[in-house]
Amino acid sequence: MIYLLELVNYPIYHQLQLEEALLRVGDKSICLLNIGTPTSIIMGVSGKPEELIDLEKAGQENITIIRRFTGGGCVVADENTLFVTFIFSKGFLPLSFFPEPILHWTETFYRSAFALPHFTVSENDYTLDGFKCGGNAQYITKDKFLHHTTFLWDYHPKKMNLLYLPRKRPKYRQDRNHSEFLYTLKNLFFSKEMVFKKIKGELSKQFSVKNFPLEEALSYIRIPHRQSTKLLEKK
């Protein structure tokens, strides 16, 4: 049984807090879907903001900056970002709890869901014909793993330019700037809802699916647990 939690424009900071609680103290295997968020910049747990973000411009735009509990790179998220999170207990899938097998499973899942044979993983990014359409990060514990993804429905160049070109970047990017590197799902699907309809269809093919009310999910936040998701203080 997989529990499906569907959200719309749920703030990504609160979503990350919820994900961390569901990972650390939850007892269910879950798929969380969220369409959009108020504009935020989200860093990996070890990211250095001064190296990744134009902090002066982000401050002028009053954009929230979040340090999430997982690793990976830095992303800008807004109303055009589609979030997909899997939280699976050990034994739920026939695979070992290591990054590569998990990423291979998600690649296969999305390729089938979207019916896009050219959807693939390139150095940990989700790509279409060499262009990035989504990023992801993972957190693996002894008994569970979490894999969350941000898909680009569309993006605002001005917001994207708040991010510096990272020092460590995939070779396939070839130093391309954002406009030469990114691909948006609006070029392939009629609506944001259609993207999630395809994901839900694939879930139903592979698993028994039960709706997971937000009120029930939020009850896990009240259970004591390690909380690593933080807001970066504005200066």
In the prediction, which pLDDT does 170 show? 76
CATH code for position 43: 3.30.930.10
- Residue 199 in any domain: the answer is yes
Decide if 232 is inside a domain. no
Q: How much is the pLDDT for 147?
A: 98
pLDDT of residue 234: 65
Q: Is residue 46 part of a domain?
A: yes
Residue 234 lies in a domain: no
* Rounded Cα gap, residues 153 and 78, in angstroms: 10
Q: Is 80 among the domain residues?
A: yes
Which pTM does this prediction carry? 0.96
Give me the pLDDT at residue 176, please: 76
pLDDT at 68: 98
1 with 210: CB under 8 angstroms?
yes
Predicted pLDDT at 100: 95
Residue 233 covered by a domain: no
pLDDT at 168: 78
Kindly report, residue by residue over 187-196, the tens digit of the pLDDT: 999 999 999 9
Q: Which residues of the chain have pLDDT under 50?
A: none
- State how many domains the chain has: 1
Strand partners, 66: 42, 231
Domain span including residue 222: 2-227
| Look-up of token digits 């998701």 | 229
129 found inside a domain: yes
The DSSP bridge pattern shows strands 2-8 and 144-152 to be unpaired
